[in-house]
Amino acid sequence: MAADMGWEIERFRSSLVGVAGSTADAYEGELHRFAVTMAESGVEGPTAVDRKVLRDHLGDLLSAGRSAATVRRRRAALRRYFAWALRVGILRADPTLGLTAPRGVARLPRVLRHDELQQLLDESPDYSGSPELRLRDDAVLEVLYGCGVRVSELCGMRVSDLDATSRWVTVLGKGSRQRRVPLHAGVIDALTRWIEGGRPSLVGPDSGDHLFLNRRGRCLSPRDVRRIVDLRSPVPTHPHALRHTFATHLLDEGADLRVVQELLGHMDVATTQIYTHVSRERLRSVHSATHPRA
């Protein structure tokens, strides 16, 4: 039905190059559900959709009990679709421009305390005679916190991405977008020890140029990274918490929001602004706990 009304969903799906398959599937599913709803409402194809139609649709989702996260996901898919439809000439204007979605009640990202971070980075458990794994895990954790990269970005790193002399690493982020992230001395030291003293003993026929390897000499997976964090963290912690901590600590020390946005690889500064709220909450907590008149 959707294709008959000019939505061209399969053509849109084929245009999603450089996007993870799961993300592309999600966009396709959201668009199909939207197209069906529009057909049931008498909206005949994408050319009949305007901003009011979109706002009413998102409002209807909330009224039906859908979560704010679901509404934001639908909005993201529609923004991607209508931008494509404009680009290929199906539409003359993009109705999603300026379209907002309800934020709902969002939880602020958890930031590790300094004692938790110190134990995670500096205090190692017994590795049962596997010093190369100790070197690898040290380097993984230093990169996660020292560079603020996503777990998927860390797993995709290659030795050739590193420039230890200039202290930069090239990161391949979402949508195959590259960015350069600076490396501080602690990260370079951990990486050097891993590359020179640990990685050679794990290299196998499937290693290629991958920077981080598992016991079988293959590219480290997100599940492997989760196990490393679980082993070292004194409290239940997700690897992404190190990215949150990286961003929050930068803002705590006065870093410019736009700089943090670039380091994190966020397309929209609004995504980065959540960390300004975290930073303010941390300052308020410290003030309340330490000021004599608080």
Catalytically annotated residue among 80, 243, 244, 249? 243
Q: For residue 248, what are the CA distances in angstroms to 66, 105, 111, 137, 276?
A: 31, 20, 7, 23, 7
- Which one from 57, 79, 150, 210 is the annotated catalytic residue? 150
Q: Catalytic residue at 240?
A: yes
Residues 206-221: b if buried by 16+ CB within 10 A, e if exposed: ebeebbbbbeebbbbe
Of 110, 226, 240, 277, catalytic: 240
Asked if 31 contacts 12 with a C-beta cutoff of 8 angstroms, the reply is yes
What's the alpha-carbon Rg for the chain, to the nearest Å? 23
Whether 293 is a known active-site residue: answer no
Based on the residue annotation, tell me whether 243 is a catalytic residue of this protein.
yes
Token pair in block for residue 114: 């300094």
Q: Pick the closest to residue 67 from 76, 58, 55, 56 (CA basis).
A: 58
Catalytic residue of the set 136, 199, 249, 266 = 266
210 is catalytic: no
Q: Nearest Cα to 58, choosing from 41, 80, 78?
A: 78
Instruction: Show the 3-state SS of 278-294.
Output: HHHHHHHHHHHHHCCCC
Give the residue from 124, 126, 113, 194 showing the smallest Cα distance to 157: 194
Set 13, 32, 167, 174: catalytic member: 174
List residues with catalytic annotation: 150, 174, 240, 243, 266, 275
